[in-house]
Structure 1
Amino acid sequence: MVMEGGEYSGTNDSELRASVSIDVTRSASSSLRWRSLSSLGAHPSQVDEDIESDSVSEVGDIGDRALHSNRYSVSGSFNFSSAEDIQLQSYGFWCHDPTASHAISTVSPLPEEIISPLSTDAIVRDEEKNQASTERIPKLLEYGSCMTHLAFFGILGVLTRYLLQKLFGPRVAGVTSDQTILYLDLPSNMVGSFLMGWCGVVFKADISYRSDFLAIGLTTGYLGSVTTFSGWNQKMLELSVEGHWVFAGLGFLIGLFLAAYSIIFGVETSKCFRQLLVRSSGYGVASSRKSWRVDSLKRHLAVLAVCLLLLAGLWSMSGILMRQEFNSSSSETQLWLACIIGPLGVWVRWFLARLNGRGLGKTGLLKWVPFGTLIANVSAACIMAALATVKREVNTKTCDIVATGIQFGFLGCLSTVSTFIAEFNAMRESKYPWRAYIYATVTICTSFCLGTLIYSVPVWAKGDN
């Protein structure tokens, strides 16, 4: 702070610059967004609703939209060039974390016409000059880094989901099984949702400050692959096809309830941990600037090389182990196949996420609906049901291994509960909480009804149940 005599108090200069820049950017982003909409004749209440719709529908992921227009520089942060892009930051983090201002330091400078005429003008202009002088990362390297991080962390997510299934399954802890409403993927969905509160909400800006590719890999790649919506939906279909309709309904309700409270618990515990860090060690912008981060082209290339080596090692190991165990009937064969094809599901889901917050048509109807996540979950659930039908019809060991590997790997990574529940939680805490329940109902009912037509009806027709 500046004292009356022109002297500075104990506040660090870099922290002052960052906090002032953040405040100006926030106010200017709202002003830009409001101005662009009001120029089209929109009512102020409609403007606020549109901004909030963008925020809640984009809280989970926006896919490759963050890489468009060459907005990424070697400084290690995305250069948002419009107020709409600024809204793509974590909704829950900005709105609910009182210490968020200490971490968000990756917002780009503002255009000249919206810079405040106060003393912050020189600060923002200086930041703008520094950003303009930085070297841009080639777009091919951007996509390559994203795809590599997504693939590597996606495989780790598949392995974690498998370990959680075995740990809480009937052979070890005996908590989950295929015959009860506590389905096999429930622990992984809860753990992934809990970690989404940490990495995808409260500490997302801190992770992005060091490497945006790491943030994408952790949230979209790892947590999106640890959790699976298609596996959840398929287990409820298998209960309903045997006549356990009440169990199937309770399975959806309990699964949604536990996942929703898992992310809430994750957000609350991470907030408390963050406050302890701030109070004990002054954790924030000043300390973050002294920490190691990927802020140069050489470092980006080095990290990419390491990730490529690790990814090649995982793929090679999975291929060798799958070939050795293919003649056996163990579930490890299906696991290694899942590790090989799992990254394909992560990539498809990441590209579909660019539809979040876009709405329908040129007018952007229903912008509050994250259509990218919705399409990924529903399509994965339908393909999962189709493969389950094929397995029952063909009934051979080879078909079972291949189909199960695709289900667990590709479809398990294509669908996600962590992103779905993050969007659900953001809608529930928004101005229109009823949207959360409509979104959840549409996702679950559409997936279950289509799955019933694809899987249950053929089973009933043959009388196999």
Structure 2
Amino acid sequence: MEGERFCVSDPEPSRSESSSATSLSRRHSLSLSGAQPSQMDDDLENECVSEAGDIGDRALQSNRNSFSGSFHYLSAEDVVLPSYGFWCRDRAASSVIPSVSPLPEEILSLSIVVAVRDQDKKQENSNKLPKWLEYGSCMTHLAFFGILGVLTRYLLQKLFAPGTAGVTSDHTILYLDLPSNMVGSFLMGWWGVVFKADISYVSDFLAIGLTTGYLGSLTTFSGWNQKMLELSVEGHWVFALLGFLIGLFLAAYSIIFGIETSRGFRQFLKRCSGSSSASSRKTWRVDSYKRHLAILAVLLLMLGCLWSVSGILMAQEFRSDSSETQLWLACIVGPLGVWIRWFLARLNGRGLGKTGLLKWIPFGTLIANVSAACIMAALATVKKEVNSKTCDIIATGIQFGFLGCLSTVSTFISEFNAMRESRHPWRAYAYAMVTMCPSFGLGTLIYSLPVWVKGYK
């Protein structure tokens, strides 16, 4: 029926419980202060849209009350509140917005949240993880999955490069990182939107590792921007413009395709599993101190092995003049880029200044992408100036590893898609322009102008 509205329980919008609870209490305080409902809805939507990708360590700071992590994503098995346990979707507008309720129901909803949390805290307070251990777990998951993302990106580059499939190239609009950006955006629809609540129910740290760590490192914005700069240096300005447009178009439709296919698969799983799904999920849930420490110990062991093997292979390949040296250096320095991007994500949803100006812009992701693009352009200029084998290996390894992990397309396109489905779809394209134009403009000043002036080849 046209214009019909229906309610679905989270995790379809994939909002974190900490953000939902914070938004609920903020909405309640705004109601008591006399704020208009439309203004409250705009503020909440702006914050939720800009937090569609990640909120960094704010999740640890806001709600430290669980073994499996420090924040939860709502799932079908969670408590359903009268208004805020559901999200209303307008079939005609195809947008997801919070349902609006009168003030008495808001107070009732807030009371239920407080009652449930008080009951949970009595059982969990004695088993809280130390804050340093929570941060250590996040950093370990991010580093381990970040290295896996670097390796996957390298394999996809080689698979579609001219030497094998011949789909991508350094001299066409189908740049080398396009397949990894598309695959990462597609998987973000699965792991970062539809199934993020279910993954978080098992382990919040696993959800962080898969989305921020693996998918954020699998995709790279700085590599995309640098390839367009190189095309512009060669005089192919039309190719550079088309490269940005096609890259954005394919990444945007990759996440849409991922969301649609994962929703269909989710419905298939519900029909097949029935009532046994809840019990099976609880079996795998990391909800005890021993389980948490066991997983952390295993990940630390595997992370140490990855770093050790990368260091040994880097030394061997460097002596044998192999191009693989850059890959192993990238695996060593890649986690540093993931960690910085995760900490910058705390700026998402906060806006500028005390008033929270432009709260709908995820400034953490924006800063990570633009800064990584500028540093990558600077290193490319250094390679042209120094023109030595050692400099090329070190600079390329840092570009592929550190800067490739510092910048991300999967998170960027998740935020873009959330803005496109909001009540202000123009913000998605404004956000894309704010990200791409400064990156390309500053990259032209840092890389293209020196190449033109000094005549580098």
Please give the TM-score of this superposition, normalised by the length of structure 1.
Answer: 0.84
The equivalent residue for 2:329 is 337
Question: In 2, Cα distance between the equivalents of 1:179 and 1:217?
Answer: 34
Question: In 2, Cα distance between the equivalents of 1:261 and 1:464?
Answer: 38
The equivalent residue for 1:105 is none
Query: Conserved in 2, the CA contact under 8 Å of 1:76 and 1:295?
Result: no
- Does residue 319 of structure 1 match 2:311? yes
Residue among 118, 141, 144 paired with 1:149:
141
Shift of the 96–425 alpha-carbon distance from structure 1 to 2, 3 Å rule, reads farther
Query: Conserved in 2, the CA contact under 8 Å of 1:176 and 1:184?
Result: yes
- Percent of aligned positions that are identical: 78
Shift of 1:289: 4.9
AA in 2 matched with 1:398: T
Shift of 1:35: 2.5
Query: Conserved in 1, the CA contact under 8 Å of 2:142 and 2:335?
Result: yes
The equivalent residue for 1:374 is 366
Question: In 1, Cα distance between the equivalents of 2:249 and 2:43?
Answer: 28
AA in 2 matched with 1:132: K
Shift of the 116–252 alpha-carbon distance from structure 1 to 2, 3 Å rule, reads closer
Question: In 2, Cα distance between the equivalents of 1:236 and 1:284?
Answer: 50
AA in 1 matched with 2:46: S
- Does residue 451 of structure 1 match 2:443? yes
Residue among 404, 413, 422 paired with 1:421:
413
Residue among 243, 253, 269 paired with 2:245:
253
The equivalent residue for 1:129 is 119
Query: Conserved in 2, the CA contact under 8 Å of 1:53 and 1:357?
Result: yes
Residue among 22, 37, 42 paired with 2:35:
42
The equivalent residue for 1:15 is none
1:49 is paired with a residue whose SS is: helix
Instruction: Give the superposed CA RMSD.
Output: 2.7
The equivalent residue for 2:377 is 385
Measured against aligned partners, the alpha-carbon deviations of 1:202-238 in whole angstroms (never above 9, x if no partner) come to 0000000000000000000000000000000000000
Question: In 2, Cα distance between the equivalents of 1:213 and 1:417?
Answer: 21
**Residues 88-103 of structure 1 mapped to structure 2, 5 A cutoff:** none
AA in 2 matched with 1:65: R
The equivalent residue for 1:394 is 386
AA in 2 matched with 1:36: S
Query: Conserved in 1, the CA contact under 8 Å of 2:68 and 2:201?
Result: no
Question: In 1, Cα distance between the equivalents of 2:319 and 2:20?
Answer: 63
Query: Conserved in 1, the CA contact under 8 Å of 2:368 and 2:407?
Result: yes
Question: In 1, Cα distance between the equivalents of 2:170 and 2:18?
Answer: 51
- Does residue 78 of structure 1 match 2:68? no
**Residues 404-415 of structure 1 mapped to structure 2, 5 A cutoff:** 404-415=396-407
Shift of the 410–279 alpha-carbon distance from structure 1 to 2, 3 Å rule, reads same
2:324 is paired with a residue whose SS is: helix
Q: How many residue pairs are counted as aligned between the two chains? A: 415
1:421 is paired with a residue whose SS is: helix
The equivalent residue for 2:49 is 56
Measured against aligned partners, the alpha-carbon deviations of 1:150-208 in whole angstroms (never above 9, x if no partner) come to 00000000000000000000100000010100000000000000000000000000000
- Does residue 297 of structure 1 match 2:292? no
Shift of 1:297: 1.1
Question: In 1, Cα distance between the equivalents of 2:87 and 2:217?
Answer: 25
Measured against aligned partners, the alpha-carbon deviations of 1:276-295 in whole angstroms (never above 9, x if no partner) come to 01112116873355431100
Gaps of 5+ in 2: 1-14, 74-78, 80-85, 92-105
AA in 1 matched with 2:385: E
Query: Conserved in 2, the CA contact under 8 Å of 1:150 and 1:217?
Result: yes
Gaps of 5+ in 1: 1-21, 81-85, 87-92, 99-112
Query: Conserved in 2, the CA contact under 8 Å of 1:158 and 1:339?
Result: yes
Question: In 2, Cα distance between the equivalents of 1:171 and 1:443?
Answer: 32
1:236 is paired with a residue whose SS is: helix
